[in-house]
Amino acid sequence: MNYAYHIQTYGCQMNVHESEKLAGILQSRGYTACDRVEDADIIILNTCCVRETAESKVYGHLGRIKSQKRAGAVLAVCGCMTQRRDVAESLAKRCPFVDIVLGTFNQCRFGEYLDEFLHTGAKIVEVWDSAREECAAPIARTSGVNAWLNIMYGCNNFCTYCIVPYVRGRERCRPLDDVLADVDGLLKSGYKQITLLGQNVNSYEHKGKNFIDLLKLLDNGEKYRLKFMTSHPKDFSTELAEQISSSAVLSKSLHIPVQSGSNRILKEMNRRYTREEYLAKIAGLRALVPEIGLSSDMMVGFPTETEDDFLQTLDLAQTVRYNNLFMFIYSRRSGTPADKMPQLDYKTKQARIDRLIKAQFEISKRIAAEHVGRTATVLVSEKDGDKCFGKAEDDSAITFDGANVAVGDFVRVKITSAKNANLKGEVV
Binding segment toward ligand SAH, per CB under 6 A, in 329-337, 345-353, 359-367, 394-402: 329-337
Query: What is the full DSSP assignment across 177-210?
Result: HHHHHHHHHHHHTT-SEEEEE-TTGGG-EETTEE
Q: Answer whether 127's CB lies under 8 Å from 18's CB.
A: no
If one asks whether residue 197 binds ligand SAH (CB under 6 A), the answer comes out as no
With CB under 6 A, what is the number of residues at the site for ligand SF4? 10
Radius of gyration of the chain (CA): 22
If one asks whether residue 232 binds ligand SAH (CB under 6 A), the answer comes out as yes
CA dist list (Å): 90 to 86, 94, 160, 164, 166: 6, 6, 25, 20, 18
Binding segment toward ligand SF4, per CB under 6 A, in 107-115, 160-168, 180-188, 243-251: 160-168
Could you give the dihedral angle defined by the CA atoms of residues 212, 163, 169 and 58, in that order, rounded to the nearest 10 degrees? -110
Query: Taking each helix axis from N to C terminus, what angle separates 238-246 and 275-288, rounded to the nearest 10 degrees?
Result: 30
Binding segment toward ligand SAH, per CB under 6 A, in 54-62, 159-167, 235-243, 287-295: 159-167
Residue 218 to residue 329: CA distance in whole angstroms: 37
- Residue selected from 78, 108, 164, 356 as contacting ligand SAH according to rule CB under 6 A: 164
If one asks whether residue 331 binds ligand F3S (CB under 6 A), the answer comes out as no
Amino acid at site 145: V
Residue nearest to ligand SAH (CB): 297
Does residue 278 sit in helix, strand or coil?
helix
Nearer Cβ to ligand F3S (50/294): 50
If one asks whether residue 159 binds ligand F3S (CB under 6 A), the answer comes out as no
Residue 428 to residue 420: CA distance in whole angstroms: 23
CA dist list (Å): 309 to 265, 268, 294, 361, 379: 7, 12, 22, 21, 40
- Residue selected from 82, 150, 199, 360 as contacting ligand SAH according to rule CB under 6 A: 199
Taking CB under 6 A as the rule, which mask of x and - marks residues 163-202 in contact with ligand SF4?
-xx---------------------------------xx--
- Residue selected from 40, 48, 50, 325 as contacting ligand SAH according to rule CB under 6 A: 50
Nearer Cβ to ligand SF4 (191/278): 278
Instruction: Give contact residues for ligand SAH (rule: CB under 6 A).
Output: 50-51, 161-162, 164, 199-200, 230, 232, 257, 259, 297, 299, 328, 330-331, 333
